[in-house]
A and B are shown apart, each in its own frame.
Chain A
Amino acid sequence: MSHGNHQDRLNESLSALMDGEASELELQRLLKASAGSAEVGERWSRYQLAASVLRREQVAPVDSGLAASISAAIEREEPLSLSGGGGAEAADGLANSRWWRPLSRGAVAATVAFAAILGVQQLQVADSGVQPGGELVAEVERPAQPVVQSSPQPSGFYVPAPTTRSVSTASPRLVPDSQPGVAGQAVIQQMPTPELMRHLNRVMIQHSEQAAHVGSQGMVPFARATYGEQVGM
């Protein structure tokens, strides 16, 4: 059934978007679909909710009707130029708004593009640095999204959220060397053992404290040295 296939593809794309991995094409498809039906938007907020719960964040109950009622309120709102005056002016206003509409659309598109750049930069980081394979790490590496994001507006998908990893992940990210000869193998990030963690923290602290006497960076090395410190070390 082609409809079912389409839906599957959309869901797949949506989940890719959650992971910040959606391609340009998938993005367009999602935007188009979300304009057509509320289902995509609702699914999106369910995904967000699930991710928040996985991250053990405090979750505010999301009223799925909220966005709809806001949209309805906006619909009811009379355009400013029309409410102002009589015929000629109204026509003028209409012409104006017609002229403006593509522009403002462009502005929205620009915002989206900018957000997309941010997203891809994070992707690049993942590409060049680490491919988190361990579930736990993948969870914390992912940018935290605001909890309440039930807006079905396409632009609402792309609020660039800062990556706020919790402090408990102050530990270094580990990337073992890939096996030579195995081309294109995915780098699996492994969870470091406590011994390895302690060793890495210790050498990083010792290095930073030494660096404080050598470089010309003021107190930056001390900030680094203190950063990874953990209670009980």
Chain B
Amino acid sequence: MRALVDKPASASRWICKANSVLLALFLLVPAAHAQEVDGENGTLEVQQWLGKLARAVTELEYRGLVTFEHAGMLETLQVVHAVRDGEQVERVRYLSGNPRELISHGSGKNCARSSGPMARAALWSRAGQQEVQRAYQFILRGRERIADRDTVVIEARPRDRHRLGLIVNLDQETGLPLKSMLVGAQGRVLERYQFVQLDLSPVQDSDLQPQSADARRIDNNNPCSNSQSRWQLSWLPEGFKAVSIKPLNDGDMLVFSDGLSVFTVFVQRLGPELDFKGRAIRGATVAYMDRMEVDGVSYTVTVVGEIPDTTAQRVAASVAAPG
């Protein structure tokens, strides 16, 4: 079998072109039905849905079966979300592949963006929403049935090339996202998370217990810290702001968000075995690694997030220690 690298690509490029025309046709059809959210009514409707979404993901008790798909991989998982003493308790368990399970406690508190309450409930406030709308254009794309429930399809289309798009189906009754897709350049779907079954009855305590011996528990009682970091970024894509700065054993971790997308910058003193310059991709998540030298000390910069790899690369290159 031929090696993959030395193929003459001209013919396939031609096919690609033909395909993009076809693809454009497919995309145009739903676009004809899409409602542009320019009118006051449309904007209001989207705002109402986003508010509903924000409340649903924090307050709603649910459990269900989910498919999680990226780069041709399909995994199935079980998710449980409950509220105990005002705090969220969440359990994720993979039903396919290696047994993996995570239980998260106490993510009731949300990280604040310096400009206002931006958190998991980023979309609660009108101000927060307006900021998000500066980075994305929201489009109501009609209705679709997911997991035997009626949903409203909303597309968040990025206004520049520094972030990914999001298409999310909100449960008509509760506002819970039942399907969400991250969309990259040329409309390529990078990741899809979709319910196959949803149960909205109150969650029993037994449902929150780990089902495997080596389930990982994380405690999020203090998820966002705002310690100082010596590192600064000379370039940030518009709308992104620091939400959390955390010291690590071997460096710092800085988290940035535009209200929908999140990326994290790690600056660490790591050994020479981690001397790697380039990107690593898993589904919609990209990690761009770079090396820099400050005062004779070598640091590893890693930018991780659900962002285009060009953005990650540019952010990594912009890390500096002023002074």
Contacts and interface: CB of A to CB of B under 8 A. Distances in A.
Interface of A: 12, 15-16, 18-19, 21, 23-25, 47, 116-117, 120-127, 129-133, 138, 143, 162-165, 167, 170-177, 186, 188, 192-193, 195-196, 199-200, 203-204, 206-231
Given A133-B3, A203-B266, A222-B92, A214 B257 contact: yes
Interface of B: 1-9, 11-12, 14-16, 19, 22, 50, 53-54, 56-57, 66, 68, 71-75, 77, 79, 81, 90, 92, 94, 96-98, 100-102, 104, 107, 109-111, 118-123, 176-177, 180, 188, 193, 214, 216, 218, 220, 223-224, 243-244, 253, 255, 257, 259-264, 266, 270-271, 273-274, 276-283, 285, 287, 289, 300, 302, 304-306
Contacts of B244: 210, 213-214
Contacts of A12: 2
B2 A16 contact: yes
Contact of B302 (A18, A124, A127, A199): A199
A15 B1 CA distance: 5
A212 B68 contact: no
A214 B96 contact: no
Nearest to A124: B16
Contact of B281 (A117, A124, A173): A173
A172 B278 CA distance: 12
A17 to B, nearest CB: 10
A214 B104 contact: no
Given A165-B73, A210-B262, A229-B216, A216 B120 contact: yes
Nearest to B271: A195
A204 B107 contact: no
B9 to A, nearest CB: 7
A173 B282 contact: yes
A196 B12 contact: no
Contact of A19 (B1, B75, B92): B1
A178 B271 CA distance: 22
Contacts of B260: 215-217
B280 A206 contact: no
> Among the interface residues B54, B75, B273, B278, which one has the most CB atoms of the partner chain A within 10 A?
B278
A228 B90 CA distance: 18
Contact of B102 (A163, A176, A225): A225
A216 B121 contact: yes
B311 to A, nearest CB: 14
A218 B57 contact: yes
Contact of A214 (B8, B118, B270, B280): B118
A24 B11 contact: yes
A53 B246 CA distance: 48
A199 B68 contact: no
Contacts of B287: 172, 200, 203-204
Nearest to A224: B285
Contacts of B306: 211
Contacts of B278: 174-177
16 contacts: A15-B2, A16-B2, A19-B4, A138-B3, A170-B73, A188-B5, A196-B276, A207-B255, A212-B120, A213-B110, A214-B244, A215-B120, A219-B81, A222-B79, A223-B68, A226-B92
B4 A213 contact: no
A24 B11 CA distance: 7
B308 to A, nearest CB: 11
Contacts of B11: 23-25
Contact of B180 (A19, A125, A213, A217): A217
A195 B121 CA distance: 36
B68 A133 contact: no
B180 A223 contact: no
Given A120-B15, A177-B277, A204-B282, A213 B5 contact: no
Contacts of B9: 127
A131 B4 contact: yes
A223 B119 contact: no
Nearest to B104: A222
B176 A218 contact: yes
